[in-house]
């Protein structure tokens, strides 16, 4: 019986030791990069897209220019950001054949730990009148990804 | 290396000595015949006897009632799984998964695109009579992929002559409204026997203990606490025909497993509110989903001769994997493939010939294995090219039993492999469905590999109470086609996965040990291990974006040096009178030695304690009642790879009861199990939905009835 108690004590000590080992904190020196939007043209407001109310809606017209000014930050070193605009006419049901082929994608190289960039996007004259998504992603040199930022772009005639 | 050579020479000498011995008397050989068939699967166990291995039988599997076979095996320390919802689990042994773990059914390695994290296992859980798990390097017997270990599903025991019996199993799980049923029928006449099983199960959406989840700073709803489109079904049929005589036995096994599993639509691209609205029919499987059909036919033959047993396993498998979703590539037109995003058809032919010889002191096993694969692709997404792969290995494994110093084993294996892949191209269509151009994704590829590997083992029994064992071996794994040539967005993982043709084969050194104590009442074991890899292959975040539409970061396969160490501990102990305690612990530490970070999908340390009650009045082989409560603690997982979130620890409670009763000549068994008794909210870092901050299954009342006639 005594033997058993000794072994149980041993196991518990071993468990405790291993638990203690795993309690190490994640490397605090490698944080996600961040995107802070300084300005958008047009200004983001509230609107209804796909029957849901959103507060990140940009309303624009074909032939106009979009501008997004961003402050990008990382604790170690920035690598790239990517902006994509794709159509959301069917509320992401993707069943239909897209009428307009406007799809925008741009990957921009970055350096340093802080950078302010303005993305200027010309909307083609023949872009389909529809809602779109604007997605902005940021990545640092080590491969840490930022939270994704999303806007709803609504093109009106 | 010289030591291995010396030992292999020694072992070859051993074969010579063994063969040179006089032929064994007939009476000794007879014991090989029918009984030997019953322990058909244990040849590997005997050869690799210094490695930690455990056997789980059907009754235990029925008591555990995991969502999948692999999830059921998780009760063993050192075994965990990578999950996608309730229907898909991938085995993980000591933190190693995908192509580092072999699943073997009836002597043939399951080939099912096992490199994918959301590629589950096509084995009918109801059809598993006994499954054996060997932890540690088994490559010597099983070839390139056996670095982490093997999960071996053994064939059922052949029936006695001129009998007929069967069973019927019915199963219900409350959490996802699973209904399952399975029936088996066995018939034997003279030297022939036939076993057939048919199983079906269908499950709905699973329930999680929350009504919302947070992703990207947005709070998104979970309607009715059920995760949308996570239902599925599984339909399995198998037939096994055997013939046996005193001198030889042979069988043929045909099986087909078909699975259809829905994916949570929020896991495909950014989850959006309108994707999460409940469906009209929650049991209907909508897009996106996975469809798999795995057909196989296996033949096992063994011939008992005076010079040992000759075994031949031949297998043919056809794995179809379809990942169905709507085309996501914006700016592109409608694709002629419709909704088939990824189609992979993998045809595998295998044959393993081995010879086993045993004398009181020597045991020798030698074999040659051959595997040929042909993979064909389709669908509108490109991930891996069409390829052909030939692998062959030759090995000798020998054991020598000394009266004083224990049992020594040594083995040596030579492998060759040849890969050849077609150029991978994708056709880009415009909005009218016309072809615009071809996009090249992966180059034509031809490569040969060869490798010599070895292993040493030692095992000693001291005073019939202690068993000590130790193993040392080299690890070798041929890079898979996806690691070399993948170039595309893996369905549901957002990220662009890219191969690297300059990858070197995975190589390393692996050592483990075992300390086992047992007496007539209790048992304890400790199995530490340490592995070092000079060329460990893993998916590395590149820090660069993909130019493909809606794709995030490029993840590239890369060689790194890596260290794994850890241990499992297990104790079975009668606490007091009719109460028994099982306490187990598992721990894996790993390090990518180039970055200092952990490797992705590493199981957290966990401690499980189970107290069971097996009353005296009802404890025999035929009938019995038992019940148990289980507490399972999982430590926080803070050792993660770059861009992999840390996960908090959690504590789960389960309860179970089972009762078996003899009715005339038949048996009736009832199994009740409650998983996650307190409906605990927890995130599991081994779950594919963890990235969306979606918790795991809540309270689940499971009920299973088995009638054996």
Q: pLDDT tens digits, residue range B207-232?
A: 999 998 888 777 888 988 999 999 99
Pairing of strands A78-87, A131-140: antiparallel
Bigger pLDDT: B529 vs A129:
B529
The mean pLDDT value for B188-195 works out to 94
Peptide bond before residue A42 is cis, with ω within 30 degrees of 0? yes
Bigger pLDDT: B87 vs B332:
B87
Is a pLDDT exceeding 70 seen at residue B465? yes
Residues 6+ apart with CB under 8 A from A22: B587, B604, B605, B635, B636, B637, B638, B639
- Dmax (CA) of chain B: 80
Measured between beta carbons, the chain B residues lying within 8 angstroms of A37 are none
Q: CB contact, 8 Å: A34 with chain B?
A: no
Bigger pLDDT: B681 vs B27:
B681
Measured between beta carbons, the chain B residues lying within 8 angstroms of A103 are 330-331, 549
Residues in chain A with pLDDT values less than 70:
1-29, 89-101
Question: What ipTM was reported for this prediction?
Answer: 0.83
Tell me, what's the pLDDT at A7? 53
| A-to-B residue pairs, Cβ atoms closer than 8 angstroms | 124
Measured between beta carbons, the chain B residues lying within 8 angstroms of A26 are 638, 640, 646
What is the share, in percent, of chain B residues with pLDDT greater than 90?
Answer: 62
CB contact under 8 A, A150 and B270: yes
Tell me, what's the pLDDT at B655? 95
CA angle at A151 for the pair A145 and A157, rounded to the nearest 5°: 150
CA distance B639 to chain A (A): 7
Q: CB contact, 8 Å: A21 with chain B?
A: yes
Cβ(B259)–Cβ(B233) below 8 Å: yes
Tell me, what's the pLDDT at A74? 93
- The residue in chain B having the minimum alpha-carbon distance to the alpha carbon of residue A50 is B274
Q: In whole angstroms, what is the distance from residue B262 CA to residue B68 CA?
A: 15
Q: In whole angstroms, what is the distance from residue B682 CA to residue B649 CA?
A: 8
Q: CB contact, 8 Å: B522 with chain A?
A: yes
Q: In whole angstroms, what is the distance from residue B169 CA to residue B60 CA?
A: 14
Measured between beta carbons, the chain A residues lying within 8 angstroms of B604 are 22
Per the structure block, which two tokens stand in for B628? Answer: 């148990």
CB contact under 8 A, B605 and A18: yes
Render B370-382 in DSSP notation, one character per residue: EEEEEEEEESSS-
Q: CB contact, 8 Å: B496 with chain A?
A: no
Pairing of strands B406-421, B387-402: antiparallel
Provide the pLDDT confidence category of residue B612 given band limits of 50, 70 and 90: very high
Q: CB contact, 8 Å: B663 with chain A?
A: no
Pairing of strands B212-215, A114-122: unpaired
Render B253-303 in DSSP notation, one character per residue: EEEEEEEEEE--GGGSSS--GGGSSPPSSTTS--SSEEEEEEEEEEEEEEE
Residues 6+ apart with CB under 8 A from B155: B40, B41, B106, B129, B240, B251, B253, B300
Measured between beta carbons, the chain A residues lying within 8 angstroms of B635 are 18-19, 22-23
Nearest Cα to B490, choosing from B592, B379, B601, B597? B379
Tell me, what's the pLDDT at B44? 60
Measured between beta carbons, the chain A residues lying within 8 angstroms of B642 are 30, 142-144
Q: CB contact, 8 Å: A43 with chain B?
A: no
Closest Cβ–Cβ partner in A15, A94, A144 for B643: A144
Provide the pLDDT confidence category of residue B1 given band limits of 50, 70 and 90: very low
Provide the pLDDT confidence category of residue B27 given band limits of 50, 70 and 90: very low
Measured between beta carbons, the chain B residues lying within 8 angstroms of A18 are 585, 587, 605, 635
Q: CB contact, 8 Å: B216 with chain A?
A: yes
Tell me, what's the pLDDT at B167? 94
Is a pLDDT exceeding 80 seen at residue B256? yes
Bigger pLDDT: B560 vs A157:
B560
Burial class (CB in 10 A: 0-12, 13-18, 19+), B688: buried
Q: In whole angstroms, what is the distance from residue B199 CA to residue B258 CA?
A: 11
Q: In whole angstroms, what is the distance from residue B219 CA to residue B216 CA?
A: 8
Per-residue CA distances from A69 to A40, A111, A124, A136, B426 (Å) = 6, 17, 20, 12, 36
Q: In whole angstroms, what is the distance from residue B57 CA to residue B65 CA?
A: 12
pLDDT, tens digit, 9 for 90 and up, residues B148-185: 899 999 988 889 999 999 999 999 999 999 999 999 99
Nearest Cα to B484, choosing from B508, B503, B509? B503
Closest Cβ–Cβ partner in A14, A22, A150 for B635: A22
Measured between beta carbons, the chain A residues lying within 8 angstroms of B547 are 105, 107
CA dihedral B261, B264, B269, B270 (to 10 degrees): 180
pLDDT, tens digit, 9 for 90 and up, residues B393-406: 999 999 998 888 88
Mean pLDDT across chain B: 86
Bigger pLDDT: B552 vs B529:
B529
Q: CB contact, 8 Å: B582 with chain A?
A: no
Cβ(B213)–Cβ(B693) below 8 Å: yes
Cβ(B208)–Cβ(B221) below 8 Å: no
CA distance B334 to chain A (A): 6
Cβ(B677)–Cβ(B702) below 8 Å: no
pLDDT, tens digit, 9 for 90 and up, residues B626-636: 899 999 999 99
Phi and psi, residue B423, nearest 5°: -65, 140
Peptide bond before residue B288 is cis, with ω within 30 degrees of 0? yes
Cβ(B327)–Cβ(B334) below 8 Å: yes
């Amino acid at each position: 019986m005594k033997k058993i108690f000794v072994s149980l004590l041993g196991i518990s000590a071993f468990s405790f030791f291993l638990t203690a080992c795993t309690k190490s904190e994640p490397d605090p020196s490698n944080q996600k990069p961040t995107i802070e939007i300084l300005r958008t043209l047009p200004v983001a407001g509230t609107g209804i897209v796909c029957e849901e109310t959103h507060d990140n809606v940009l309303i624009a017209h074909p032939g106009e220019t979009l501008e997004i000014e961003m402050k990008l930050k990382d604790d170690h070193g920035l690598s790239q950001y990517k902006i994509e605009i794709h159509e959301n006419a069917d509320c992401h049901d993707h069943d239909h054949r897209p009428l307009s082929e406007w799809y925008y994608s741009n990957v921009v190289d970055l350096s340093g730990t802080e950078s302010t960039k303005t993305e200027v996007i010309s909307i083609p004259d023949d872009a389909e009148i529809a809602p779109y998504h604007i997605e902005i992603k940021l990545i640092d040199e080590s491969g840490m990804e930022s939270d994704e930022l999303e806007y709803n772009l609504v093109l009106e005639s | 290396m010289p030591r291995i050579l010396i030992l292999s020479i020694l072992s070859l000498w051993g074969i010579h000595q063994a063969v040179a011995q006089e032929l064994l008397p007939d009476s000794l050989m007879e014991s090989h015949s029918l009984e030997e068939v019953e322990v058909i699967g244990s040849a590997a166990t005997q050869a690799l006897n210094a490695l930690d291995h455990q056997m789980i039988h059907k009754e235990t599997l029925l008591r555990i009632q995991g969502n999948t076979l692999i999830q059921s095996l998780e009760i063993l320390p050192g075994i965990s799984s990578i999950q996608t919802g309730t229907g898909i689990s991938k085995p993980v042994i000591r933190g190693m998964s995908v192509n580092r773990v072999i699943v073997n059914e009836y002597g043939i390695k399951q080939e099912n695109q096992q490199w994918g994290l959301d590629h589950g296992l096509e084995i009918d859980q109801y059809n598993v009579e006994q499954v054996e798990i060997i932890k540690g390097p088994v490559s010597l017997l099983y070839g390139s992929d056996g670095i982490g270990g093997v999960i071996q599903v053994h064939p059922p025991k052949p029936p006695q002559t001129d009998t007929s019996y069967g069973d019927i199993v019915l199963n219900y799980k409350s959490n996802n409204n699973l209904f399952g049923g399975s029936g088996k029928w066995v018939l034997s006449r003279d030297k022939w026997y036939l076993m057939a099983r048919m199983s079906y199960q269908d499950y709905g959406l699973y329930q999680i203990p929350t009504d919302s989840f947070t992703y990207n700073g947005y709070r998104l709803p979970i309607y009715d606490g059920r995760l949308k489109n996570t239902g599925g079904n599984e339909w399995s049929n198998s037939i096994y025909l055997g013939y046996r005589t005193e001198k030889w036995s042979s069988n043929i096994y045909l099986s087909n497993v078909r699975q259809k599993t829905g994916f949570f639509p929020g896991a495909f691209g950014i989850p959006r509110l309108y994707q999460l609205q409940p469906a009209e029919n929650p049991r209907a499987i909508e897009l996106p989903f996975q469809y798999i059909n795995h057909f196989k036919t296996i033949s096992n033959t063994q011939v008992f001769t005076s010079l040992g047993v000759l075994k031949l396993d031949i297998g043919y498998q056809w794995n179809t994997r379809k990942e169905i979703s709507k085309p996501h590539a914006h700016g592109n037109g409608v694709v002629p493939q419709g909704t088939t995003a990824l189609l992979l058809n993998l045809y595998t032919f295998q044959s393993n010939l081995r010879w086993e010889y045993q004398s009181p002191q020597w045991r020798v096993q030698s074999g040659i294995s051959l595997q040929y694969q042909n993979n064909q692709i389709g669908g509108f997404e490109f991930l891996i090219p069409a390829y052909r792969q030939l692998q062959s290995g030759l090995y000798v494994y020998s054991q020598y039993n000394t009266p004083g110093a224990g049992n020594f084993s040594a083995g040596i294996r030579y492998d060759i492999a040849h890969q050849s892949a077609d150029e991978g191209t994708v056709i880009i269509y415009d909005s009218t469905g016309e072809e615009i151009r071809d996009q090249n994704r992966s180059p034509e590829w031809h490569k040969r590999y060869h490798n010599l590997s070895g292993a040493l083992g030692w095992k000693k029994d001291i005073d019939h109470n202690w068993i000590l064992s130790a193993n040392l071996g080299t690890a070798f794994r041929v890079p898979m086609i996806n690691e070399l040539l993948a170039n595309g967005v893996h369905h549901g993982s957002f990220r662009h996965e890219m191969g690297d043709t300059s990858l070197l084969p995975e190589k390393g050194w692996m050592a483990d040990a075992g300390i086992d104590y047992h007496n007539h009442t209790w048992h304890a074991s400790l199995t530490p291990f340490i592995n070092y890899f000079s060329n460990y292959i893993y998916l590395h975040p590149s820090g660069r974006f993909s130019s493909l539409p809606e794709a995030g970061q490029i993840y590239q396969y890369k060689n790194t040096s890596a260290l794994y160490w850890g241990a499992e501990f297990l104790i079975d102990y009668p606490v007091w009178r009719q109460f028994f305690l099982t306490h187990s612990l598992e721990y894996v530490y790993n390090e990518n030695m180039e970055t200092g970070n952990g490797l992705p999908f590493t199981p957290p340390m966990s401690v499980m304690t189970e107290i069971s009650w097996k009353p005296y009045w009802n404890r025999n082989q035929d009938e019995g009642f038992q019940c148990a409560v289980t507490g399972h603690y999982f430590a926080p997982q803070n050792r993660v790879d770059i861009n992999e979130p840390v996960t908090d620890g959690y504590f789960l409670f389960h309860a179970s009861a089972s009762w078996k009763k003899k009715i005339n000549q038949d048996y009736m068994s009832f199994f009740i199990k409650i998983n996650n008794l307190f409906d605990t909210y927890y995130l599991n870092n081994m779950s594919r939905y963890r990235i969306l901050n979606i918790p795991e299954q809540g309270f689940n009342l499971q009920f299973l009835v088995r009638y054996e006639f």
